[in-house]
C-alpha cells in the first residue's frame, strides 16, 4: 500500500487524472488560457492542477472563467506551491474546454465549501458540513481494556463514506496497534538494531505527530500538512529520531465519492540511514471498520 517514492495517491484519483490533460499558454499579462481535452473516456469531477506563471504567482487572488460561457468557476491556490486547482466536470470523451485564469484583487471568491477545523485534538475535514475524516494531532489514549502502550497520535480516524458510513477503526481488540489510516514500517534496521515501528507492543519504535504546518479551507479543497517523527525506542541513550515524515492530506469538494489525496514524504532524521528490509506488506495501512469482522 505504499511505494519507494513515498507519494501515496488513491487509485481513483490516478484513474481520473489519466483521462484528462491540460495545456497552458500565456495570453496576456496576469492571465493565462488553459485548454483541456478529455481522452477516450468522460471526465467527471476531475481535479485539475495548473502550474502558475510568475505574474499570477504574485497576484493577490485568482479569478477563473469558462471561455465559451463566461461562467465563473471556483478556483483555489495550493498552499506553498505556485499552483491553482479547480474541478472539471461533464467533459465528454473527445471534447475540449478552454478557461481564462486571471489575477484578482480579492484573495478569495467563493464560500469555503470544504473546511478543515481544529477542535484541539483533531483536524476535521468536512464537505458542506458532511464529515469526511479526522486526523489526530493529540495523543488518543487507549480505551478501557487496551494497554496504555497502544496510545497513538498521527493517524486518520474516523474516515467516512458520503452516506456517513464508518470505514475505519481505531484500537481494534484483535490488533490494537492498527489505527485508522497510519504509516509505520515493520521490518527495519537502524544502527544495527532491529526496529519495528508497526507493532507498538514490542516497544521498539514509535510514530507520533510533531507539528502542524498548515490547515486550509476553500471552495475547491481543504488541506492540512503535518510533520510526524519515527523514533527508535531501543537506542542506548534513549529514544532517537529516525525519520521525519511530512503528510499532505487534501480532500476535494465532491460527494460521489469522496476524493482524498494523501502524500507522504520521509527523510532521515539523523546521519544514520534507516534500512527498510524486505517484508510482505508496506508501511501504509488502513484498518477497516469493526463491523466488517465476521
Contacts (Cβ under 8 Å, ≥6 apart) of 180: 155, 156, 157, 158, 159, 168, 169, 170, 286, 287
pLDDT tens for 75-110 read 999 999 999 999 998 899 999 999 999 999 887 666
Return mean pLDDT, the chain.
Answer: 89
Query: Is residue 83 reached through a cis peptide bond, with omega within 30 degrees of 0 on the bond before it?
Result: no
> Does the pTM of the predicted model rise above 0.85?
yes
Q: How many CB atoms lie within 10 A of CB 221?
A: 27
Grid coordinates 460527494 are at which residue? Answer: 255
Nearest-Å Rg of the Cα atoms of the chain is: 21
Question: Does position 270 have pLDDT exceeding 60, yes or no?
Answer: yes
Q: What is the pLDDT of residue 19?
A: 34
Domains of the chain in start order, with CATH, are 11-104 (2.60.40.1170), 114-292 (no CATH)
Amino acid at each position: 500500500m505504499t511505494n519507494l517514492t513515498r507519494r501515496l495517491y488513491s487509485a481513483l484519483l490516478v484513474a481520473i487524472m489519466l483521462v484528462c490533460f491540460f495545456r497552458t499558454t500565456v495570453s496576456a499579462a496576469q492571465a493565462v488560457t488553459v485548454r483541456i481535452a478529455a481522452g477516450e473516456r468522460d471526465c467527471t469531477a476531475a481535479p485539475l492542477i495548473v502550474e502558475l506563471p510568475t505574474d499570477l504567482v504574485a497576484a493577490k487572488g485568482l479569478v477563473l472563467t469558462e471561455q465559451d460561457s463566461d461562467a465563473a468557476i471556483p478556483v483555489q491556490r495550493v498552499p506553498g506551491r505556485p499552483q491553482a486547482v479547480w474541478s472539471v466536470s461533464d467533459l465528454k470523451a473527445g471534447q475540449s474546454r478552454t478557461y481564462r485564469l486571471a489575477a484578482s484583487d480579492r484573495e478569495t471568491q467563493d464560500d469555503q465549501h470544504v473546511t478543515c477545523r481544529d477542535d484541539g485534538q483533531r483536524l476535521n475535514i468536512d464537505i458542506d458540513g458532511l464529515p469526511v475524516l479526522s486526523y489526530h494531532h493529540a495523543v488518543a489514549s487507549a480505551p478501557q481494556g487496551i494497554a496504555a502502550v497502544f496510545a497513538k497520535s498521527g493517524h486518520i480516524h474516523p474516515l467516512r463514506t458520503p452516506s456517513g458510513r464508518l470505514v475505519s477503526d481505531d484500537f481494534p481488540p484483535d490488533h490494537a496497534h492498527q489505527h485508522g489510516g497510519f504509516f509505520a514500517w515493520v521490518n527495519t534496521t537502524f544502527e544495527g538494531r532491529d526496529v519495528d515501528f508497526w507493532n507498538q507492543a514490542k516497544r521498539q519504535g514509535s510514530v507520533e505527530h510533531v507539528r502542524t504546518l498548515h490547515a486550509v479551507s476553500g471552495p475547491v479543497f481543504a488541506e492540512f500538512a503535518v510533520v510526524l517523527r519515527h523514533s527508535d525506542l531501543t537506542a542506548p541513550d534513549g529514544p532517537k529520531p529516525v525519520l521525519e515524515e511530512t503528510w499532505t492530506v487534501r480532500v476535494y469538494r465532491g460527494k460521489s465519492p469522496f476524493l482524498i489525496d494523501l502524500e507522504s514524504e520521509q527523510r532521515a532524521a539523523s546521519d544514520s540511514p534507516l534500512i527498510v528490509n524486505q517484508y510482505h506488506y508496506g508501511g501504509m495501512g488502513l484498518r477497516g471498520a469493526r463491523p466488517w469482522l465476521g
